[in-house]
Amino acid sequence: MNVIVQGFPIFLLIFCRITAFFVVAPIFSSRGVPNTFKIGLGFFISFIVFITYGMKQSIVPDAEYVLVLLREILIGVLLGFVVYLFFTVVQTAGAFMDLQVGFAMANIVDPHTGASAPLLGNFKYMLMIVIFLMMNGHHFLLTGLMDSYEWMPLSNELYTRMMSGSVTDFLTRTVGNTFLLAIQLSAPLVVAMFLADVGLGFLTKTAPQYNVFVIGIPLKLIIGLLLLVLLMPSLTGIFEQLFSIMFDSLKQFLGIVQGPPPAG
- Which candidate, 150, 144, 159, places its Cα nearest to that of 56? 150
Return d(Cα 149, Cα 138) in angstroms, integer: 18
pLDDT at 221 over 50: yes
pLDDT at 91 over 50: yes
* C-alpha dist (Å) from residue 231 to 11, 90, 119, 227: 47, 14, 16, 6
- Which candidate, 130, 126, 138, places its Cα nearest to that of 41? 138
Share of residues in the chain with pLDDT > 90 (%): 2
- Amino acid symbol at 135: M
Angle between helices 119-134 and 212-257 (to 10 degrees): 40
Residue-wise pLDDT for 128-179, tens only, equals 888 888 888 888 888 888 888 887 777 777 788 888 888 888 889 999 999 9
Entry field: residues in the chain: 264
Angle at 49 between CA 57 and CA 12, to 5 degrees: 65
Return d(Cα 47, Cα 36) in angstroms, integer: 16
- Which candidate, 228, 214, 248, 253, places its Cα nearest to that of 100? 228
Which residue ranges make up each domain of the chain? 78-257
Bridge partners (DSSP) of residue 108 are: 117
- pTM of the model as a whole: 0.81
Mean pLDDT, residues 110-126 taken together: 69
Contact 149, 53 (CB under 8 A): yes
